[in-house]
Amino acid sequence: MYDVLVVGSANADLTVRVNRRPGAGETALGTDLVESAGGKGANQAAAAARLGVRTALLAKVGDDAYGELLLAAQRAAGTGLRHVLVEKGARTGTAMIVVDPDGDNSIVVSPGANALLSPAEVAAAREVIAASAVVSLQLEIPYGTVREVVRIARETGTRVVLNPSPTPEELDPEFFAAADPLIVNKHEARWLTQLHCGGPDEWARALRKAGARSVVITLGERGALVLEEGAAEPVRLPGIEVEAVDTTGAGDAFTGALAGRLAAGTSLVEAARFAVRVGAAAVTKPGAQPSYPTLSELPG
């Protein structure tokens, strides 16, 4: 039915730009507040759909103005919305984002309706999970709900792409076993492996030893590192030099693009190589979903 089914969060992003991100107890003046569509799940779905991938989103929003904003953004991207649930009386999830002049950001998420997406609602969508080539997951929805998706995907043979973010204290071994690939940035890789003095190669090997079938570590402007299932050594993929405006949602753009290529049968290395291009394009414009490229907008 779909190439990619994304099960995850949908948030309204409230973004303000500052000359310098404030420290503890400090107040800073910023620009006018910008409201846009975000959330790791919705971001990944929009990124894949804008690239022409048949994509659906399974998520939950509130029956408020932010919920309407998120649904409109997904429609514009071309995402299938049949499985997005609207919770009456609930507040849509919200992310408060502060962006500095280098494009780096700090984010605080208030889950709202995302916290209400239940394992039972996921179980009711078993048929669409089974009919999708790839299911893409993150951890901005309840842990038990993610576990139910993993269980169904493993039973039905659907490939699982997992970005364990926000990073938990300890990742469920069942999640490691399902991840093909496990996608983490360098901070998440260091946290999950507890190898504070290591580097991407060591982190990738440690994550696969922990149970992940394959591993992708995103390295920002330095590209990405891929350790495929059965490979002895990781493959480093170079970054693409661009002028960064806002890094918000760039990792989600990478993950959505990678999931779409895997669904089309591309190897993990080539899927990640393509995703590096998509992630690079995403940092050249402000916002998360508003920055996501179509195929014609990708850098070389």
Instruction: For the chain, list the domains and their CATH numbers.
Output: 4-10+39-92+112-289 (3.40.1190.20)
Asked if pLDDT for residue 36 goes beyond 80, the answer is yes
Phi and psi torsions of 113, nearest 5°: -65, -20
Asked if pLDDT for residue 238 goes beyond 90, the answer is yes
The rounded distance, in Å, linking the Cα atoms of 213 and 135 is: 15
For the chain, give the mean pLDDT. 94
**List 63, 100, 172, 252, catalytic entry:** 252
Rounded mean pLDDT, 98-112: 87
156 against 27, higher pLDDT: 156
Asked if pLDDT for residue 169 goes beyond 90, the answer is no
Asked if pLDDT for residue 89 goes beyond 70, the answer is yes
Q: pLDDT digits over 110-154, tens only?
A: 999 999 999 999 999 999 999 999 999 999 999 999 999 999 999
* Confidence band of 300 (pLDDT split at 50, 70, 90): low
Rounded mean pLDDT, 171-196: 93
Is 252 among the catalytic positions? yes
Asked if pLDDT for residue 244 goes beyond 80, the answer is yes
Q: Which residues line the annotated binding site for K(+)? A: 246, 248, 282, 285, 287, 291
Asked if pLDDT for residue 263 goes beyond 80, the answer is yes
Q: What dihedral angle (degrees, nearest 10) is formed by the CA atoms of 12, 14, 20, 22?
A: -90
Asked if pLDDT for residue 254 goes beyond 80, the answer is yes
Q: Which residues line the annotated binding site for substrate? A: 11-13, 39-43, 140, 252
Q: Which residues line the annotated binding site for ATP? A: 185, 218-223, 251-252
What's residue 159's pLDDT?
A: 98
Rounded mean pLDDT, 208-214: 95
- Token readout for 58 is 């399974």
The rounded distance, in Å, linking the Cα atoms of 261 and 254 is: 11
* Confidence band of 32 (pLDDT split at 50, 70, 90): confident
Q: What is the DSSP letter of 101?
A: T
* Confidence band of 287 (pLDDT split at 50, 70, 90): confident
Strands 55-62, 84-87: pairing kind: parallel
